[in-house]
């Protein structure tokens, strides 16, 4: 996660062709370096700098998974640049510091392209479970959904070593999340599955409970990747963004 490539892949799932997508690689992912200040606040400020470079005044921001904290910071720090906020399976409240298993994964497995390839090649179901899609949800996938996971999403994670620094940075900073969400004034849509095994449903609840007038769509199943729910999620996201498009933008 965190790279522009997965941003593009997920935008094709959750948006339609009416939207122009800006999908940056966040700090530590692919060719975006990890600066001295790699906080989520600094990432949000970099998003604003990117908009300046592109001569874009404002955008709707979609935070997916670990992209949640920097999206929240963008809404807090640059409200005049943010027309709407969408949080999908997104992190929003503090996580416990990394335990031994977390460190093995983030500082060991995610450093080795070969080990990760081996896991993806021979233990794909277990890898998908690790990414928050339970065996129960996997059992109900259509052939198209299975193909999307196996042929599109999982291959997009390779090479994992080019994402390791970013994922470790994200996980480290999750411990310190404590944002004044009540100060967010932008229209906000929160979508989260109750059976998300990677980013617990409590994150979606926390976001919706603390951002004034935020709307929560709680899905009973789908896991972290909202499998089996893509059509519904796309419909909700597209309708929300068009409803809250800036003045002068065709709806």
Answer yes or no: pTM beyond 0.85: yes
Please say if the pLDDT value at position 156 is more than 60.
Answer: yes
The per-residue pLDDT for 102 is 86
Say if residue 67's pLDDT is above 60: yes
pLDDT at residue 247 above 70? no
Averaged pLDDT for residues 16-22: 93
Task: Give the mean pLDDT of 163-173.
Answer: 94
pLDDT tier for residue 13 given thresholds of 50, 70 and 90: very high
CA angle, 166 then 172 then 177, to 5° = 110
In a domain, 130, yes or no: yes
Confirm whether 45 is domain-assigned.
Answer: yes
Which contiguous run of DSSP H or E holds residue 217? strand 215-219
Which CATH number goes with the domain that contains 121? 3.40.50.1820
Residue listed under structure tokens 């031994």: 100
Q: Which of 44, 47, 10 is nearest to 156 (CA)?
A: 10
Question: Residues 41-68: what's their mean pLDDT?
Answer: 97
User: Would residue 88 count as lying in a domain?
Assistant: yes
Q: 249 lies in a domain?
A: no
Domain of residue 103: give its range: 4-243
pLDDT tier for residue 2 given thresholds of 50, 70 and 90: confident
* Nearest partner of 87 among 186, 170, 18, judged by Cα: 186
pLDDT at position 49 over 60: yes
* Residue of 219, 209, 206, 187 lying closest to 86 (CA atoms): 187
Please give the distance of CA 196 from its chain centroid, rounded to a whole number: 13
Domains held by the chain: number: 1
Q: What is the mean pLDDT of the chain?
A: 94
Q: What is the pLDDT of residue 186?
A: 97
Give CA separation, 96 vs 55, 92, 102, 130, in Å: 39, 13, 11, 18
Stretch 179-206: mean pLDDT: 97
pLDDT tens, 216-233?
999 999 999 999 999 999
Question: Is 251 contained in some domain?
Answer: no
Among 79, 89, 19, which Cα is nearest to 212's? 79
Asked if residue 21 belongs to a domain, the reply is yes
Residue 29 pLDDT > 70: yes
Percent of the chain, pLDDT > 70? 98
The pLDDT score that the predictor gives to residue 108 is: 87
Is 86 a domain residue? yes
Q: Is position 172 within any domain?
A: yes
pLDDT for 1: 64
**100 Cβ contact list (under 8 Å, min separation 6):** none
Percent of the chain scoring above 90 in pLDDT: 82
């Amino acid at each position: 996660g965190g790279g522009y490539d997965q941003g593009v892949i997920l935008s094709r799932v959750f948006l339609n062709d009416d939207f122009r997508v800006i999908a940056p690689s966040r700090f530590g992912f692919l060719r975006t370096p990890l600066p001295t200040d790699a906080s989520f606040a600094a990432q949000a400020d970099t998003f604003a700098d990117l908009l300046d470079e592109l001569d874009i005044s404002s955008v709707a921001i979609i935070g997916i998974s670990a992209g949640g904290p920097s999206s929240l910071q963008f809404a807090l720090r640059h409200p005049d640049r943010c027309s709407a906020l969408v949080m999908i399976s997104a992190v929003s409240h503090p996580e416990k510091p990394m335990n031994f298993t977390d460190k093995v994964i983030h500082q060991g497995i995610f450093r080795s392209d070969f080990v990760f390839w081996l896991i993806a090649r021979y233990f794909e179901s277990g890898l998908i479970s690790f990414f928050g899609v339970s065996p129960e949800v996997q059992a109900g996938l259509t052939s198209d959904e299975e193909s999307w996971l196996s042929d599109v999403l999982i291959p997009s994670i390779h090479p994992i070593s080019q994402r390791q620094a970013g994922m470790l940075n994200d996980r480290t900073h999750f411990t310190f999340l404590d944002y004044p969400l009540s100060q967010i004034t932008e229209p906000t849509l929160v979508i989260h599955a109750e059976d998300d095994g990677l980013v617990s449903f409590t994150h979606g609840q926390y976001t919706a409970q603390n951002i004034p007038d935020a709307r929560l769509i709680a899905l009973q199943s789908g896991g972290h990747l909202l499998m089996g729910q893509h059509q519904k999620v796309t419909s909700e996201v597209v309708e929300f963004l068009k409803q809250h498009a800036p003045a002068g933008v065709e709806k």
